[in-house]
Amino acid sequence: MYVTPDQVVATNKAGVEALIGLAHTQFAAFERLSALTFNATKSAFEDSVAHTKALLNAKDVQEFMNVNAAVAQPALEKVIAYSRNVYDVATQSQTEVTKMVESQAGELNKSVVSMLDKAAKNAPGGSDVAIAAVKSALAAANSAYDSMTKVAKQATELAEANFAAATTVAKEAKKKAA
């Protein structure tokens, strides 16, 4: 079995396209995260200016304390919302990258199996044991990859559940404090 220049070019082209796709995915996630951070920073600045003005207009200590207390609740809500949005961007980006990696791994497996089948047809007698060993190793690697993917998905689901629980606890604590 011989590798033709067209096969090398096609393989290289597919690899470059996969990397470009990955770069686009990461730039899109970075863009969303940058916009989110910019908006949160701008909002925090505007809130702090409004808070400072309200404190300067306080006529007595009680009003000063009320202004400070009134700021805590919306600030906590904004922090929770910001954290949730950052988490959503990260989760979405991870999902897109995982899909791309799984797609590329699937294509690579098909390509390797195809080449092994072609090699088996043209291989000298007795080499079928070596080809079977390579196919077995490939199957074991795929099984290990599938197991790791399942564990990663379970870890992601656990992290999502923990984040949701932490958000609920923070909101309940906020309500009790109010």
Overall domain count for the chain? 1
Q: Which residue would you say has higher pLDDT here, 6 or 64? A: 64
pLDDT digits (tens, 9 = 90+) for 71-120: 888 888 898 889 889 988 988 898 888 888 888 877 777 777 777 777 77
pLDDT for 133? 81
Report residue 156's pLDDT band, with 50, 70 and 90 as the boundaries.
confident
Report residue 178's pLDDT band, with 50, 70 and 90 as the boundaries.
low
Q: Could you give the percent of the chain with pLDDT greater than 70? A: 94
pLDDT digits (tens, 9 = 90+) for 32-83: 999 999 999 999 999 999 999 999 998 999 998 999 888 888 888 898 889 8
Q: Say if residues 89 and 32 touch (Cβ distance below 8 Å).
A: yes
pLDDT for 97? 86
Range of the domain at 118: 5-177
Most confident of 30-39, 97-106, 153-162, 169-178: 30-39
Report residue 2's pLDDT band, with 50, 70 and 90 as the boundaries.
low
